[in-house]
C-alpha cells in the first residue's frame, strides 16, 4: 500500500510538498474511515430491533379486518375482526412477501407500536400510538439505515427531538433566542 501511495505522489515536485500531500491524503483516508464508522453507528439499537422483528403467530392480515366509519365527533374509525372490535396485531406484506407494516390495536383503535419497512426489508419507521393518537418516540430511517428523524410526540403534538444523552425532551434546553427542543406538554 505504501508503494502505491508513494508512486502516486512521486510526480509531486519537492520533498516538502510531497510530504504535505501525503499527510493530507492520510487525513482524508482517516476521515473516510471515521465517516464509515458513523454510518454503522447510525444503525441504532431501535433500527436493529425493527429489522429483526418477528411477526407473532396470532397476527391478523390487514385484509381480514373491516373498518367501521367514525361516529360524528369520533377521532378515527374502528377496526373489527369477525364482527368484534379488534385487539391484537395486524400486518400487511409487499408482493415479495416481506413485511410492509405492522400495527397494534386495542378495542379497534391503534394502541401500541406500529412499524413500517421498505420493500427490501429495511426498517422505514417506528411510532407508538396511545388510544388512537401518536404518543412517544417517533423514528424514521433512510433505506441505508441512517436516522431520518427521531422525535417525541405527545397529546399536544410535537414535543421535541429525542436526545440520546440521557436528557428527555422536557429537560433539554434551548438557546437564548428560545430555539431548541420543545417542552414536553404531556403530563400522563
pLDDT tens figures, 105-161: 999 999 999 999 999 999 999 999 999 999 999 999 999 999 999 999 888 888 888
| pLDDT at residue 24 in the model | 47
What whole-number distance in Å separates Cα of residue 116 and Cα of residue 123? 6
For 130, residues 6+ apart whose C-beta sits below 8 A from its C-beta are 111, 136
pTM of the predicted model as reported, rounded to 2 decimal places: 0.64
- Interval 83-100 mean pLDDT: 96
Confidence of residue 51 (pLDDT cuts 50, 70, 90): very high
- Interval 89-106 mean pLDDT: 97
Question: Which residue carries 505504501 as its cell?
Answer: 2
Segments of the chain assigned E as strands: 60-61, 66-68, 78-81, 84-85, 88-93, 99-106, 109-117, 123-130, 133-141, 147-154, 157-161
| pLDDT at residue 44 in the model | 82
| pLDDT at residue 29 in the model | 53
Alpha carbon of residue 148 to chain centroid: 6
Burial zone of 112 (CB within 10 Å; 0-12 exposed, 13-18 middle, 19+ buried): middle
Whether 142 and 135 have beta carbons less than 8 Å apart is answered as no
What whole-number distance in Å separates Cα of residue 168 and Cα of residue 162? 7
How many Cβ atoms are within 10 Å of 139's Cβ, its own excluded? 21
What whole-number distance in Å separates Cα of residue 75 and Cα of residue 96? 34
Whether 26 and 32 have beta carbons less than 8 Å apart is answered as no
- Fold category of 45-161 in CATH: 2.20.110
For 77, residues 6+ apart whose C-beta sits below 8 A from its C-beta are 67, 68, 69, 70
Amino acid at each position: 500500500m505504501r508503494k502505491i501511495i508513494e508512486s502516486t505522489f512521486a510526480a509531486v515536485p519537492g520533498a516538502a510538498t510531497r510530504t504535505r500531500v501525503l499527510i493530507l491524503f492520510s487525513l482524508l483516508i482517516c476521515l473516510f474511515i471515521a465517516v464509515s464508522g458513523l454510518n454503522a453507528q447510525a444503525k441504532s439499537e431501535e433500527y436493529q430491533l425493527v429489522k429483526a422483528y418477528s411477526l407473532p403467530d396470532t397476527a391478523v392480515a390487514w385484509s381480514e379486518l373491516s373498518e367501521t366509519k367514525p361516529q360524528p365527533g369520533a377521532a378515527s374509525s374502528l377496526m373489527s375482526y369477525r364482527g368484534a372490535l379488534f385487539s391484537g396485531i395486524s400486518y400487511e406484506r409487499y408482493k415479495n412477501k416481506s413485511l410492509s407494516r405492522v400495527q397494534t390495536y386495542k378495542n379497534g383503535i391503534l394502541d401500541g407500536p406500529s412499524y413500517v419497512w421498505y420493500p427490501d426489508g429495511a426498517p422505514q419507521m417506528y411510532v407508538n400510538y396511545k388510544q388512537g393518537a401518536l404518543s412517544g418516540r417517533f423514528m424514521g430511517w433512510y433505506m441505508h439505515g441512517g436516522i431520518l428523524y427521531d422525535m417525541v410526540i405527545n397529546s399536544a403534538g410535537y414535543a421535541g427531538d429525542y436526545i440520546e444523552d440521557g436528557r428527555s425532551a422536557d429537560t433539554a434546553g434551548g438557546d437564548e433566542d428560545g430555539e431548541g427542543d420543545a417542552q414536553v406538554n404531556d403530563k400522563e
